[in-house]
Amino acid sequence: MKNSEGAGREEQLSDNELVERLLSGNKRALARVISRIEGEGAEVPDIISQIYSHTGEGVTVGFTGPPGVGKSSIIAMLIKLYRGEDKKVGIVSVDPSSPFTKGAILGDRIRLADHFLDKDVFIRSMGSRGHLGGLAGASQLAGLAMQAYGMDVVLYETVGVGQGEVEVASAADTVVLCLQPGAGDSVQALKAGVMEIADIICINKADHPQAKGTASEVRSILEIGHELDPDAPMPPIVMTRGDNGEGVEELKQKIAEHREFLQESGRMKERHLASIKEFILSWTTNKMEKEIQERLSREDAELMEKVRKRELDPISAAETLYKEV
Ligand SMILES: Nc1nc2c(ncn2[C@@H]2O[C@H](COP(=O)(O)OP(=O)(O)O)[C@@H](O)[C@H]2O)c(=O)[nH]1
Ligand SMILES: [Mg+2]
């Protein structure tokens, strides 16, 4: 039994068997389910419908920010802290620039190697192409699989400061925006609207001489935002060091406090409804776009030809197609 779980030949399993194994805490089944999600397998909707009722209890945190600020390093430190409390931790990393592989990007190779061997930690990097419901959808589904497996905490890492990254991160209950001193990242994050979705701001590389300056720059940006919308909670700013773990315990504390705030204020429900709406919207628009693309490339070549010959106007053609779909 153990050997058949190992490397080599993939056992033929029905979807039900695969789900059963996932729910019983089989790590290989978890890996396979996530591969199917990533590969956009036709069986994914069925798998998700079977596991969904086993999800929702986990703590979910999204980390976003420009490349190189130290997101992966902070996550590695957090894994250690959560493991110290015997929590099971899953990581979904959508950072193609620095994949979470065997400690290559982290200074402390031994520690990450430990995480890879630990059955209660599962780190999965996902490609950056849009698959099921876009990248946000696919990583969210991977997070669901991790919760169904029994992860108490699911951490998402997304690189960059843009809309796609924001979407991925905002699927989580708590969003941590990671910035580093200097570099003008905070101004860029503000422009991209990322500052608005941040529940916690983490200024990493606290050892950098400009760290304090960046913190006060961020604080003044947040204060302006707060004046414009006094109801919006002020995100706390935490200074951390991804290389030695300084401040990461405080970051973990702030994550827990944010969660408590969401639960006690009733905002958790609002947040979940917004994220469900976002998922459904992205899933349906993705499907519709595909369907329309397909029709345009085949069946409806005739329709486009009519438009080209001025026998039909493009709006009428679009409306016809839309109604068919
Ligand atoms: N000086 C310093 N370097 C750090 C700190 N945290 C991370 N780094 C380094 O910054 C680089 C990028 O880190 P990484 O975690 O891959 O960043 P990511 O791209 O945001 O995931 C690595 O070389 C880390 O060792 C820190 O607090 N101080
Ligand atoms: Mg990274």
Residues 234-286: pLDDT tens digits? 899 999 999 999 999 999 999 999 999 999 999 999 999 988 998 888 888 88
For 45-104, write each residue's pLDDT tens digit. 999 999 999 999 999 999 988 888 999 899 999 999 999 999 999 999 886 655 554 443
pLDDT in tens, 167-213: 766 679 999 999 999 867 677 766 667 777 889 999 999 999 999 99
Radius of gyration of the chain measured on its C-alpha atoms:
22
If one counts every other C-beta atom within 10 angstroms of the C-beta of residue 58, the result is 22
CATH assignment of 56-265, among 3.30.360.10, 3.40.50.300, 1.10.10.10, 2.40.50.140: 3.40.50.300
Q: What is the pLDDT of residues 92-145, one digit of tens each?
A: 988 665 555 444 344 444 445 556 677 899 988 877 555 445 566 788 899 999
Distance 147 CA to ligand 2 centre (A): 22
Residue 212's pLDDT is what?
A: 92
User: How far is the centre of ligand 1, averaged over its atoms, from the C-alpha of 303 (Å)?
Assistant: 54
Cα 266 to ligand 2 centroid, rounded to whole Å: 32
- Return d(Cα 88, Cα 92) in angstroms, integer: 14
Torsion angle of the four alpha carbons 22, 26, 30, 32, in this order, in degrees rounded to the nearest 10: -100
Residue with tokens 């109801």: 231
Which protein residues are within 6 Å of ligand 1, measured from CB? Answer: 67-73, 95, 98, 105, 107, 204-205, 207, 241-243
Q: How far apart are CA 72 and CA 78, in angstroms?
A: 10
Per-residue model confidence (pLDDT) at position 2: 42
**Residue position matching structure tokens 């030809």:** 305
**Domain residue spans in the chain?**
56-265, 279-324
Specify the range with the lowest mean pLDDT, choosing from 77-86, 296-305, 314-323: 296-305
pLDDT at site 10: 66
- Residue 223: how many other CB atoms lie within 10 Å: 11
Phi and psi for 161 in degrees, rounded to 5? -130, 90
Give Cβ neighbours of residue 210 (< 8 Å, ≥ 6 apart). 181, 182
What integer pLDDT is reported at residue 124 of this predicted model? 86
Given this model, what pLDDT does residue 233 score?
81
Hey, what amino acid is at 160?
Answer: G
Within 8 A by CB and 6+ apart from 268, the residues are 173, 259, 262
Ligand 1 probe mutation, 243, 246, 248, most atoms within 8 A of CB:
243
Which residue lies with its CA nearest to atom 28 of ligand 1? 205
Strand partners for 179: 203
pLDDT of residue 192: 63
Distance 243 CA to ligand 1 centre (A): 7
Which three-class secondary structure state does DSSP give residue 120? Answer: coil
Residue of 71, 73, 250 to mutate, ligand 1, most atoms within 8 A of C-beta: 73
d(CA 42, CA 44): 6
pLDDT band at 231 (very low <50, low <70, confident <90, very high): confident
75 CA to middle of ligand 2, Å?
A: 9
Q: Residue 323: which pLDDT band, with cuts at 50, 70 and 90?
A: very high
Residues 6+ apart with CB under 8 A from 236: 200, 201, 254, 257
Kindly state the average pLDDT of the residues 299-316.
Answer: 90
State the Cα–Cα distance between residues 235 and 176, nearest whole angstrom. Answer: 9
The DSSP call for residue 155 is E
The pLDDT of residue 102: 42
Output the pLDDT for position 1: 41
Q: How far apart are CA 120 and CA 172, in angstroms?
A: 20
